[in-house]
């Protein structure tokens, strides 16, 4: 999906007035590159997922009853397009990391990780597996069919699944999720 397509799919108008909460959520995603695949000794304790080909990364969050979208590509905050608005019953304060994917000519927003919980006193788990459990428990708040929670799990399972070619979009890389949800390790993938 090209940049203008990703922005028009996910974003409504620009949000021109920022407050301190919005500013705190506008943090750049950092994807570090690994030259090698994970070793057998450490891959079972790590959590992996994939990056779609030509993906664009966004932070999707709920604030004052409104869904906002922060574009990691152009460092701009937008109001969410209607097709990706979070459910009104989702409490304010949640924030999610998402990527775009083009599924057989149909754009999708894949929710990859949770960035923030609504109660700032409650710490976000450092363990990607624990964050994934929280994310899956919130599935009903994401608007289907445009938003989906993206699978993440054990490396060998991911590689077996990717080799089946059953994803409706191409894969650019394997990603290792980290303690910080805004940092990932990029592992080159060839099908």
According to the model, what pLDDT value does residue 58 have? 96
Domains and CATH numbers, the chain: 3-188 (3.30.470)
88-123 exposure pattern, b = at least 16 Cβ within 10 A, e = fewer: eebeebbbbbbbbbbeeeebbbbbbbbbbbeeeeee
pTM: 0.91
pLDDT tens digit sequence for 173-188: 999 999 999 999 999 8
Q: DSSP state, 73?
A: T
pLDDT tens digit sequence for 101-125: 998 888 999 999 999 988 766 789 9
- Take residue 132 and report the two structure tokens written for it: 């994934």
- Token look-up 């710490």 returns 123
Phi and psi at residue 5, to the nearest 5° = -65, -40
Is 53:169 a contact under the CB 8 Å cutoff?
Answer: yes
Contacts of 75 (CB under 8 A, 6+ apart): 26, 28
Which among 171, 11, 149 is positioned nearest to 75, based on CA atoms? 11
pLDDT tens digit sequence for 31-64: 888 877 666 655 557 899 999 999 999 999 999 9
- Take residue 189 and report the two structure tokens written for it: 């993938």
According to the model, what pLDDT value does residue 107 have? 93
According to the model, what pLDDT value does residue 44 have? 57
More confident residue, 42 or 143: 143
- Segment 123-132 long-range contacts (CB within 8 Å, at least 24 positions apart): 124/181, 126/179, 126/180, 127/179, 128/46, 128/47, 128/152, 128/177, 128/178, 128/179, 128/181, 129/47, 131/177, 131/181, 132/47
Which among 112, 110, 134 is positioned nearest to 123, based on CA atoms? 134
């Amino acid at each position: 999906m090209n940049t203008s397509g990703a922005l028009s799919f996910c974003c409504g108008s620009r949000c021109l007035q920022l407050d301190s909460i919005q500013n705190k959520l506008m943090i750049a995603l950092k994807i570090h590159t690994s030259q090698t695949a994970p070793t057998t000794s450490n891959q079972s304790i790590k959590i992996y997922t994939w990056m779609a080909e030509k993906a664009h990364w966004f932070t999707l969050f709920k604030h004052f009853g409104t869904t906002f979208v922060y574009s990691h590509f152009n460092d701009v905050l937008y109001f969410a397009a209607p097709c990706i608005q979070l459910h009104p019953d989702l409490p304010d304060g949640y924030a999610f990391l998402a990527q775009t994917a083009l599924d057989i000519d149909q754009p999708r927003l894949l929710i990859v990780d949770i960035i923030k919980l609504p109660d700032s006193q409650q710490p976000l788990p450092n363990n990607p597996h624990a964050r994934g459990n929280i994310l899956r428990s919130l599935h009903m708040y994401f608007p289907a069919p445009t938003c989906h929670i993206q699978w993440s799990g054990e490396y060998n399972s991911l590689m077996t699944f990717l080799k089946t070619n059953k994803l409706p979009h191409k894969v650019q890389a394997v990603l290792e999720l980290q303690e910080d949800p805004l940092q990932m390790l990029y592992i080159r993938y060839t099908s």
